């Protein structure tokens, strides 16, 4: 019940009201209008509504269904479609939001459909007792609040057995009861399809032979199946290469443009230009014949479906608007739990993450040569650095209610005043005092999930920065 004027928004965003008005004029008068968003906006405490609001923009000004427009989400991916290995049928229908796996280990039976987004059951009957962690530093390093994750995983009365499969001894793999050493992609046949404007199929062949007793994931699973007496049913008598070729030929039957298997191997990388895609074109051309998958068949800014779906959910203070006991059914602005409006005298700076040139998430984060040329830094504006006596290259500590990290300062106007930024993916490395000298931002993030999707709010943080 607050009028959302440019002056109101200016105080929160730090963007002058006049510039906000100019942007509104541009959005309202530009044709075609292309609105896109990355994966960052929804990774906040109010992220679902931030992403929703961005999607609503092109709809509000009628700029959908026309060449050069979009529906406000990510850009189309012109990736060729490859068939996948059969997954079988899982007899267990209960599922949890993946971000809440540590909660499911710590207090699983307390998690319900109303407080934790459990699907397929009203509640969990048991917590996670057996966990398989394949090819991911996500148990700790890529999960929020690393210190809390360590505490939960260290108690083996909770999750009693962890099977880890990886190529390197990352932080997460150290919690494994058994470690199976995997092969790198360059040691085995592999194939992946991806793309954006152009579509790609990358067919990789081994450039070296596997060393020691390491095996592919398929070989590992086949050996387990053999011990369980179901090897033939699992493999169907096929090798891994047999499966890859067969699945590729299945794909070719659906997509006649794909090269033969032998041609794909010879090319290594097959590419083709994607076909133009105009989101919601059919709906705009004939909205009655091409109704949307909403209750009304139309674009809905107010969602009755969401309102009913979340009715009776157990919410925490800050999950919704003040005075409400339900989640907003419109793309409302909800202040963040730990954001620019909720900083404190103890933690006066907002903290955001970003992707870094020196790693792919946490992959290659242990390579010393890469760390030398891409040191872990906290980006801080001169307006915030000067009063703290911080200069370029100083060793500093970033502190909040979840932990402390130590890293270098990068003093730059390329980050806005009042906000500091730390690249994600650095490897956690605690010293004798519990300070993370590896500089992982997830030492600073919270395991409290976003209210609707129960997802990762990694960019919702407050902190203080001081010289170490």
* pLDDT, position 74: 86
Domains, the chain, in order of start with CATH, read: 31-76+279-309 (no CATH), 98-128+183-273 (no CATH), 349-467 (2.40.40.20)
Mean pLDDT in residue range 165-183:
94
* pLDDT, position 122: 96
Task: Give the rounded distance of the alpha carbon of 219 from its chain centre.
Answer: 29
Predicted confidence (pLDDT) at residue 1 exceeds the cutoff of 90? no
Sheet holding 178-181, edge to edge: 130-134, 161-166, 178-181
Mean pLDDT in residue range 9-25:
96
Mean pLDDT in residue range 346-372:
94
Give the model confidence (pLDDT) of 90-138 as tens digits: 999 999 999 999 999 999 999 999 999 999 999 999 999 999 999 989 9
* pLDDT, position 162: 97
Return d(Cα 249, Cα 4) in angstroms, integer. Answer: 56
Mean pLDDT in residue range 287-298:
95
Give the model confidence (pLDDT) of 227-286 as tens digits: 999 999 999 999 999 999 999 999 999 999 999 999 999 999 999 998 888 999 999 999
Give the model confidence (pLDDT) of 436-458 as tens digits: 999 999 999 999 999 999 999 99
Give the model confidence (pLDDT) of 145-166 as tens digits: 999 999 999 999 999 999 999 9
* pLDDT, position 136: 84
- Band (pLDDT 50/70/90 cuts) for residue 78 is confident
Q: What is the pTM of this model?
A: 0.93
How many percent of the chain have pLDDT more than 70? Answer: 100
* pLDDT, position 75: 85
Return d(Cα 287, Cα 13) in angstroms, integer. Answer: 37
Mean pLDDT in residue range 335-348:
95
Predicted confidence (pLDDT) at residue 167 exceeds the cutoff of 80? yes
* pLDDT, position 353: 95
Give me the chain's average pLDDT, please: 95
Give the model confidence (pLDDT) of 184-194 as tens digits: 989 999 999 99
How many percent of the chain have pLDDT more than 90? Answer: 93
Return d(Cα 44, Cα 336) in angstroms, integer. Answer: 7
Residue 194: CA count within 13 A, CB half-sphere: 5
Residues 6+ apart with CB under 8 A from 84: 247
- According to DSSP, the residues that pair with 162 across neighbouring strands are 131
Mean pLDDT in residue range 400-424:
97
Task: Tell the residue number behind the tokens 């592999």, with chain if given.
Answer: 190
**Least confident stretch, 83-87, 194-198, 362-366, 415-419:** 194-198
Task: Tell the residue number behind the tokens 């690393």, with chain if given.
Answer: 146
* pLDDT, position 196: 80
Per-residue HEC secondary structure of the chain comes to CCCCCHHHHHHHHCCCHHHHHHHHHHHHHCCCCCCCCCCCCCCCCCHHHHHHHHHHHHHHCCCCCCCCCCCCCCCCCCCCCCCCCCCCCCCCCCECCHHHHHHHHHHHHHCECCCCCCECCCECCCCCCEEEEECCCCCCCCCCCHHHHHHHHHCCCCCCEEEEEECCCCCHHHHCCEEEECCCHHHCCEEEEEECCEEEEEEECCCCCCCCCCCCHHHHHHHHHHHCCCHHHHHCCCCHHHHHHHHHHHHHHHCCCCCCHHHHHHHCEEEEECCCCCCCHHHHHCCCCCCCCCCCCCCCCCCHHHHHHCCCCCCCCCCCCCCCCCCCCCCCCCCCCCCCCCCCCCCCEEEEEECCCCCECCECCCCHHHHHHCCCEEEECHHHHHHHCCCCCCEEEEECCCCEEEEEEEECCCCCCCEEEEECCCCCCECCCCCECCCCHHHCCCCCCCCCCCCCCCCCCEEEEEEC
Residue 403: CA count within 13 A, CB half-sphere: 28
């Amino acid at each position: 019940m607050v009028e959302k004027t440019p002056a109101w928004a200016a105080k929160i965003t730090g963007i002058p009201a006049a510039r906000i008005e100019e942007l509104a004029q541009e959005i309202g008068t530009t044709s075609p209008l292309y609105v896109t968003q990355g994966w960052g906006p929804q990774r906040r405490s109010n992220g679902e509504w931030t992403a929703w609001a961005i999607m609503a923009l092109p709809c509000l000004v009628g700029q959908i269904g026309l060449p050069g427009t979009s529906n406000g989400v990510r850009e189309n991916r012109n990736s060729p479609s490859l068939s996948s290995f059969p997954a079988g049928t899982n007899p267990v229908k209960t599922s949890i939001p993946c971000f809440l796996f540590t909660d499911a280990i710590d207090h699983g039976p307390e998690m319900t459909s109303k407080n934790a987004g459990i699907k397929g059951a009203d509640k969990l009957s048991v917590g996670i007792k057996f966990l398989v962690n394949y090819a991911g530093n996500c148990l700790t390093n890529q999960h929020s609040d690393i210190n809390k994750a360590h505490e939960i995983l260290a108690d083996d009365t909770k999750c009693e057995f962890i099977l880890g499969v990886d190529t390197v001894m990352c932080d997460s793999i150290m919690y494994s009861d058994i470690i199976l050493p995997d092969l790198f992609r360059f040691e085995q046949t592999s194939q992946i399809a991806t793309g954006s404007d152009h579509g790609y199929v990358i067919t990789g062949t081994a450039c070296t032979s596997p060393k020691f007793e390491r095996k592919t994931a398929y070989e590992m699973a086949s050996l387990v199946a053999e011990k369980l007496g179901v090897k033939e049913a699992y493999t169907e008598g096929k090798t891994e290469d047999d499966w890859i070729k067969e699945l590729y030929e299945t794909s070719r039957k659906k997509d006649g443009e794909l090269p033969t298997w032998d041609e794909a191997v010879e090319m290594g990388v097959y590419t083709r230009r994607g076909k133009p895609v105009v989101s919601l074109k059919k709906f705009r051309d004939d909205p009655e014949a091409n109704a949307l998958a909403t209750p009304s068949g139309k674009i809905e800014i107010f969602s009755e479906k969401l309102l009913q779906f979340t009715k009776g959910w157990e919410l925490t203070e800050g999950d919704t608007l003040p005075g409400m006991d339900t989640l907003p059914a419109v793309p409302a602005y909800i202040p963040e739990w730990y954001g620019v409006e909720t900083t404190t005298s103890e933690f006066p700076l907002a903290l955001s993450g970003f992707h870094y040139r020196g790693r792919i998430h946490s992959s290659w984060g242990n390579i010393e040569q890469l760390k030398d040329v891409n040191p872990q830094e906290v980006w801080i504006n001169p307006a915030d650095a000067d009063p703290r006596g911080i200069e370029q290259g100083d060793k500093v500590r970033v502190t909040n209610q979840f932990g402390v990290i130590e890293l270098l300062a990068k003093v730059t106007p390329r980050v806005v005043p009042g906000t500091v930024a730390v690249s994600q993916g650095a490897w956690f490395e605690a010293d004798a005092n519990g300070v993370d000298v590896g500089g992982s931002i997830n030492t600073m993030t919270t395991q409290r999930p976003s209210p609707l999707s129960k997802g990762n709010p990694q960019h919702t943080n407050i902190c203080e920065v001081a010289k170490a």
